[in-house]
Amino acid sequence: MRGAMLLLMAAAVMVYCGLLQRVLDRMHMRDRTALLLIGAMLLGTFLPPLRLGLVVVNIGGGLIPLGVCVYLLIRADTALERWRTLLGVAVTGAAVYALTLLLPAEAEQLPVDPTLLVALAGGLVAWLLGRSRRGAFVCGVAGVLLADTATGVVNWARGIAQPLVLGGAGLADAAVLGGMLSVLLCELIGETAERFVRRRGGARG
């Protein structure tokens, strides 16, 4: 939880200082909107979750991030971007689900927090398929939630009446971290590639 809080606080500071202005512009989101969403996720983390039978949805870690995904899909520039993003969600979900099967049951056996590991995997796959900042965020969030859903469905098929908890860790959940890491990776790799191309072009000129 501490790591996720620090990451979100760092994002809020960067938004406030204007350091993520171009990223937010590409996501069709204003600074004030981003700060309000961060605050809403923080507040929603501590609110009672929504329950529907065996399905439990954390407001800050599941409902609000998923709502942002729907908004970004609606605001996508082209239908191709929407379909590519949805494909990225499916691939990200499959990759994260496969990773959870490979991870040991006891988190203490891992050198790093498994939540961060799952989020990083989701972020990498999401960037490779999503490319755009909007698509990367959707893939990171929805892909992790899809993997969680797959785990719950498999358990139910085996007769295990275990609740399906979506975004249960709130801000510390892999869905939130996956979305944030996807956007940050997309920006970092994209900027590095663009600078490399510009330098090569300048050298030839």
pLDDT in tens, the chain (205 residues): 455 556 656 665 555 455 455 666 667 777 777 778 878 887 888 889 999 999 999 998 889 989 988 988 888 888 888 888 898 889 888 988 888 888 766 655 666 666 667 767 766 776 677 567 788 888 888 988 999 999 999 999 999 989 999 987 665 677 777 777 777 777 777 667 667 766 766 555 5
Question: What confidence score (pLDDT) does residue 96 get?
Answer: 85
Q: Please tell me the distance from the alpha carbon of residue 182 to that of residue 143, in angstroms, as a whole number.
A: 11
Q: Please tell me the distance from the alpha carbon of residue 118 to that of residue 116, in angstroms, as a whole number.
A: 5
Q: Please tell me the distance from the alpha carbon of residue 175 to that of residue 2, in angstroms, as a whole number.
A: 16
The answer to pTM > 0.85 is no
What radius of gyration do the chain's Cα atoms show? 17
- Please work out, in degrees rounded to the nearest 5, the angle formed at the alpha carbon of residue 151 by the alpha carbons of 176 and 185: 30
**3-class secondary-structure state, position 19:** coil
Cα–Cα nearest to 130, from 33, 26, 41: 26
Question: What confidence score (pLDDT) does residue 1 get?
Answer: 47
Question: What confidence score (pLDDT) does residue 40 get?
Answer: 85
Question: What confidence score (pLDDT) does residue 16 get?
Answer: 47
Question: What confidence score (pLDDT) does residue 26 get?
Answer: 64
**3-class secondary-structure state, position 42:** helix
